[in-house]
Amino acid sequence: MTHGELPVLPGSPKIIPGPEKAMLKLSYGVHVVGSRSERGDLNAMLADWVMQVSFKPRLVCVAIENDARTLRFIRETGAFSVSLLHEKGGDQIARRVVMPSESKKIKGRPDEMQDLVYNKLDGMSYGIHDNGCPVLDEALGWFTCDLRETFAAGDHTLVIGEVTDGDVVREGEMLIERELGWEYAG
Ligand SMILES: Cc1cc2nc3c(=O)[nH]c(=O)nc-3n(C[C@H](O)[C@H](O)[C@H](O)COP(=O)(O)O)c2cc1C
């Protein structure tokens, strides 16, 4: 029997409820979702929640936070890319793209910084696919998608994309979340 509902005393270890513990055991690869706005701004977002969901047609699902700039861009242009981060060096790329591009999404930012937008791709090496979205040069591989459907799912939106192109460009394996050491689950 556990007493997870009782208040935690200062200094005592954090009690992680069972469902959260189980969710944290799920394994994910680490990806970068590339997108483009209608007026041509580019964006890159770190994402664990990417999976194939159909063979015919070849569909993938990406779960994206409702207030992410990436989601807005994908809705605007109907296209996105997914770069698979490499086990070697992928962590450095993850660090560069992990923050939201819009300062207003970061809790505690002072009012005068609310309108700031960071270009996470600045200084990174990437190409632009024919579908307009950025693909990272140092990825293990990549694929591009056309937006097919979106579904509301709590604080995220499920973005269903049909895979239009893709390739593996380096030897090796994907970076997985457990090795990156950051959690996006619970
Ligand atoms: C390890 C890790 C995995 C993440 N996976 C996702 C994800 O699958 N979906 C998502 O919406 N956000 C995910 N995030 C959070 C986004 O990367 C973050 O909110 C992002 O900066 C939003 O970017 P944008 O507002 O510039 O589009 C993850 C963060 C970390 C640290």
Taking the mean position of all CA atoms in its chain, how far away is CA 75? 16
Using alpha carbons only, what angle is made at residue 35 by residues 84 and 132, rounded to the nearest 5 degrees?
Answer: 100
| Residue whose CB lies within 8 A of the most ligand 1 atoms, among 75, 91, 98, for a mutation test | 98
Side-chain-side CA neighbours of residue 36 (13 Å): 20
Query: Amino acid identity of 180?
Result: L
Q: Which atom of ligand 1 is nearest to the CA of 73?
A: 27
Neighbours of 120 (CB within 10 A): 22
The neighbouring-strand residues paired with 145 are 80, 163
CATH architecture of 29-178: Roll (2.30)
Pocket of ligand 1 (CB under 6 A): 43, 45-49, 63-65, 68-70, 98-102, 105, 156, 177, 182, 184
The Cα 104–Cα 114 span in angstroms is 4
Q: What is the pLDDT of residue 1?
A: 43
Please tell me whether residue 113 adopts helix, strand or coil conformation: helix
CA dihedral of 62, 67, 69, 71, whole degrees rounded to 10: 30
In this predicted structure, what is the pLDDT of residue 3? 55
Q: Could you tell me whether strands 126-128 and 134-136 are parallel, antiparallel, or unpaired per DSSP bridges?
A: antiparallel
Q: CA 57 to CA 22: how far, in whole Å? A: 32
- Which portions of the chain are predicted below pLDDT 50? 1
- Beta partners for residue 134, in sequence order: 128
Q: What is the pLDDT of residue 58?
A: 98
| Tens digit of each residue's pLDDT (9 = 90 or more) over 65-104 | 999 999 999 999 999 999 999 999 999 999 999 988 887 7
Judge contact between 29 and 175, C-beta under 8 A.
Answer: yes
Nearest residue (by CA) to ligand 1, atom 2, is: 184
